[in-house]
Amino acid sequence: MDPGKVLELVRPLVMVVDGWGTVLAVHGGCGGFLGHDLAALPGTNVLHLVAAAERNDVASYFLSQAGEEVKTALLPLPFRVHLVDADGREHAVDVIPTGQPDDPEIGGWVVVLVPLAMQAGPSRSLAAELGGAPRSEVKQLLAEELELDNADWTTRVFLVDLPSGRVTAGRNSDVRMHAAIAEAIADGWDPWLQIGRGEGSFDVSVDDAPPVIRSDASLAGWNFIESAPVYAHGELVAAYVRLSHSPNRSSFDHVRTNVESRLRELIEVTQLLLTRWRDQDALRAAASFDPLTGLANRETLNGALALNEDSVAVIYIDIDHFKAVNDEYGHAVGDRVLVEVGRRVSSACRRDDVVARVGGDEFVVLLRCVDEVIAGRICRRILDEVRVPFTLIDGPRDISVSIGLAMRSDGDDMVEQADRAMLAAKRQGRARLVLAS
């Protein structure tokens, strides 16, 4: 067996680098390595492959190892850097160095470079999530997990967020297909529905795909298309669309088991992340919103008030005779009245106003960028909206509210001012507005 031939068939890249960083020899990289011409690398400086922000650290690492004896050659630990591909994109790569042997036939460090994309599991997206990366970045990493580019194969993966239809691509250069998939989804394309939960993926002939996808796939040379659903909490929340190019169908079938295994693992990681995000969102919502009406709660209102904007006003609203509603119709009907009043108050306000439920039948609205005229107009809209007869089954027909309005006044508690004005409206006969003095 020829050891050199075996080494050339290794997918990672094996380099020999001297003390100045000059590449002496290159082996492996079977199928291509980040799009570089491997034959042209000997004689160049390895730091040219390293992302600019990390070059000094990499140079310092190897300089610190200079002069080490052969017996310590295996001590350096693997580390991770970002290498730049032929198109200028950065890729995380694990570097596995073997000290500086003093064998004159080698004359430098032996370094193995393994892109994270070659690893067996989708670890980059999990690491990014644990590191606090934005969700958009984590989704892009998920879409990159099964990317492949070599002389015979090309694979791209797109993550579809359901039901919004938003599509995430691993590469910005795939913007045409990104847009084509989004357009097809908007027109009702949903091949992942052909697959039950846990059943894997569904092959779709490119010839049978929507025209907008078929057109761009032909331009890119992709001849296979596959989709797979992703569930979280038992609900279909996302899907993967994978487009590939291979010389012939038989070669595709040859690696299908491997591809399916990687895809299943990617789906499991995606399920984990989407479930985590949904749980986080639910916790935030529970901490920020009233569970009955879906309006902001007191804590959210206080946070908005703390911004201390100049042109703000506070409306304090109390439902008239609400205790009588609960006594006559029951608390279930009372809850429906609260929900409907909250909806009507919100509809009378503007998009950026903060509408909160702060007590049993009490609501507070924070108005931004208003003067007394505009604030008064919104208060009267609220009165009119609530006066419209209710159509609740087995519930009251007529409901009214009392409103207190407070404008910004330095040194005073606006909510307390508006509350006192609301109590004055109650004393004056209810179903009216009183401006805080």
Q: 86-104: buried (b, 16+ CB within 10 Å) or exposed (e) per residue?
A: eeeebbbbbbebebbbeee
Give the pairing of strands 148-149 and 23-28: unpaired
Question: 189: closest CA among 176, 175, 174, 202?
Answer: 202
**152 catalytic, yes or no?**
no
List, in sequence order, the alpha helices (H) in 161-206: 175-186
Task: Give Rg (Cα) of the chain.
Answer: 32
Phi/psi for 176 (5° steps) reads -65, -50
Can you tell me the distance from the alpha carbon of 62 to that of 23, in angstroms, rounded to the nearest whole number? 13
Cα first-last separation, the chain: 96
Q: Which of 348, 357, 355 minimizes the C-alpha distance to 379?
A: 348
Give me the residue label for tokens 């509809």: 347
State the Cα–Cα distance between residues 72 and 77, nearest whole angstrom.
11
Strands (E), 290-414: 312-319, 354-357, 362-368, 401-407
Among the listed residues 320, 353, 361, 419, the single catalytic one is: 361
Of 268, 37, 295, nearest to 151 by C-alpha is: 37
| H-helix segments, 187-255 | 211-220, 249-254
Q: How many residues does the chain have?
A: 437
Cis link prior to 211 (omega < 30° from 0)?
A: no
40: three-class secondary structure by DSSP: helix
The C-alpha atoms of residue 316 and residue 417 are separated, in whole angstroms, by 9
Tokens found for residue 103: 């064998």
- Using alpha carbons, select from 153, 218, 211 the residue that is nearest to residue 181: 211
**Angle subtended at Cα 30 by Cα 25 and Cα 32, rounded to the nearest 5 degrees:** 90
Percentages of the chain per state (helix, strand, coil), in multiples of 5:
40, 25, 35
Beta 23-28 vs 13-17: how paired, if at all? antiparallel
If you search the block for the tokens 């070659």, which residue do you land on? 118
Known catalytic residues?
Answer: 361
